Amino acid sequence: MRTIIRVFITLVLAAIAIALGIWLWQYYMYTPWTRDARVRADIVTIAPDVSGWVMDLDAHDNQQVKAGDVLFTVNHERYEAAVRQAEATLANREYSYQLSEHEYERRRNLGSNAISTEDRETARLNAQIAKAQRDLAKAQLDSARIDLERSVVTSPVDGSVINLHLRQGNYVSQGNAQMSIVRNGSFYITAYFEETKIPSIDIGDGASVWLMGGDQEMHGHVVSIGRGIANTNTTPDGQLLPQVQQTFTWVRLSQRIPVDIAIDHIPDGVYLSSGMTASVRIDDPRQKDDGVDGVRPHGMGNAGEQARDPDIPPAVTSDAEQRDP
């Protein structure tokens, strides 16, 4: 009898342990949280629209700038000369137009026995050509003025200057980025969730964010779930054949899907820099019963979007709709 009780106690304990072990596994593996999240922001790269030496450098590294603030000035002597040249060309063309216009006026009024029809027609067309050339010179002057104007490079947004390597006297080329600006107030979090956790994440779900530095918790919500990541199996080789990777038979690594999280409120004292590491946990929807559910779209929240193309058979969306929110 005592042996039976001993066996029974041990077996019951083992059974409980197995059940709790399964719960623990599910909890740890499928709770939507990740340590792999980064702070991101809107980055605007600044490239001059004209080439030349940097005459004045007004920006300095990590400086706060407002939209319209002067960042640097490219040497504009050549562009001033170009404007003067274009002005002179315009004057030249204007006068040749007047000349040919007057010629045409005179010939138009001559009688048909004084001038041939051909000569009169030539005079008319010459006047037209001169007019077109004057318009061309006008457009070139406008273009030269734009170049001159853009030799002063200004900030398009409010933000901070990042990674300024530019120095006064450097030669900058048209279209080559010289610095970048992080737009103020544009910080958001991109969390890279394992694909196994994606089904339990909905657009609109609340999220808790911790930065690696500091213990302060920030709240946000999911705004979008990435629709694509690179697939190395489709990379073609030199013969355009797909380079299909071998997988291990037993071990397969889950892919990470980027999920964008908007920060609802940045607490005082929290300093955000684009690129910081963060941990993100999606708050369990079952714990948010205070009216949030009514606002939140059902299921993935974008099942309709997924099936917008009428050519996609409805089977594509059935998974998303069956999902328990």
Residues that bind other proteins (CB under 8 A): 3, 5-7, 9-11, 13-14, 16-18, 20-21, 23-24, 27-28, 31, 33, 35, 206, 208, 210, 212, 217, 219, 221, 264, 279, 281, 283, 287-288, 290, 292
At 245, phi and psi to the nearest 5?
-80, 145
Which among 166, 185, 162 has a CA at the least distance from the CA of 176? 166
Closest approach of Cβ 218 to other proteins, in Å?
10
Q: List, in order, residues 6 or more apart from 183 with CB less than 8 Å away.
A: 41, 42, 43, 44, 157, 158, 159
Hey, how many other C-beta atoms are within 10 angstroms of the C-beta on 291? 8
Task: Report the Cα 203 to chain-centroid distance in Å.
Answer: 20
Q: Which is nearer to other proteins, 92 or 216 (CB)?
A: 216
Closest approach of Cβ 7 to other proteins, in Å?
5
Closest approach of Cβ 24 to other proteins, in Å?
5
Three-state DSSP at 268 gives coil
Neighbouring-strand partners of residue 264: none
Q: Which is nearer to other proteins, 31 or 116 (CB)?
A: 31
Closest approach of Cβ 155 to other proteins, in Å?
33
CB 189 within 8 A of CB 37: yes
What does the alpha-carbon distance between residue 143 and residue 150 come to, in Å, rounded to a whole number?
Answer: 11
What does the alpha-carbon distance between residue 29 and residue 256 come to, in Å, rounded to a whole number?
Answer: 14
CB 205 within 8 A of CB 302: no
Q: Which is nearer to other proteins, 14 or 132 (CB)?
A: 14
Long-range pairs, 222-226, Cβ under 8 A, ≥24: 222/259, 222/260, 222/261, 222/282, 223/188, 223/260, 223/261, 223/262, 224/259, 224/260, 225/198, 225/201, 225/257, 225/258, 225/259, 225/260, 225/300, 225/302, 226/257, 226/258, 226/259, 226/260
Closest approach of Cβ 152 to other proteins, in Å?
43
Closest approach of Cβ 275 to other proteins, in Å?
16
What does the alpha-carbon distance between residue 225 and residue 258 come to, in Å, rounded to a whole number?
Answer: 6
Q: Which is nearer to other proteins, 152 or 292 (CB)?
A: 292
Q: Which is nearer to other proteins, 30 or 171 (CB)?
A: 30
Closest approach of Cβ 207 to other proteins, in Å?
9
Closest approach of Cβ 206 to other proteins, in Å?
5
Q: Which is nearer to other proteins, 28 or 250 (CB)?
A: 28
Q: Which is nearer to other proteins, 142 or 293 (CB)?
A: 293
Q: Which is nearer to other proteins, 33 or 53 (CB)?
A: 33
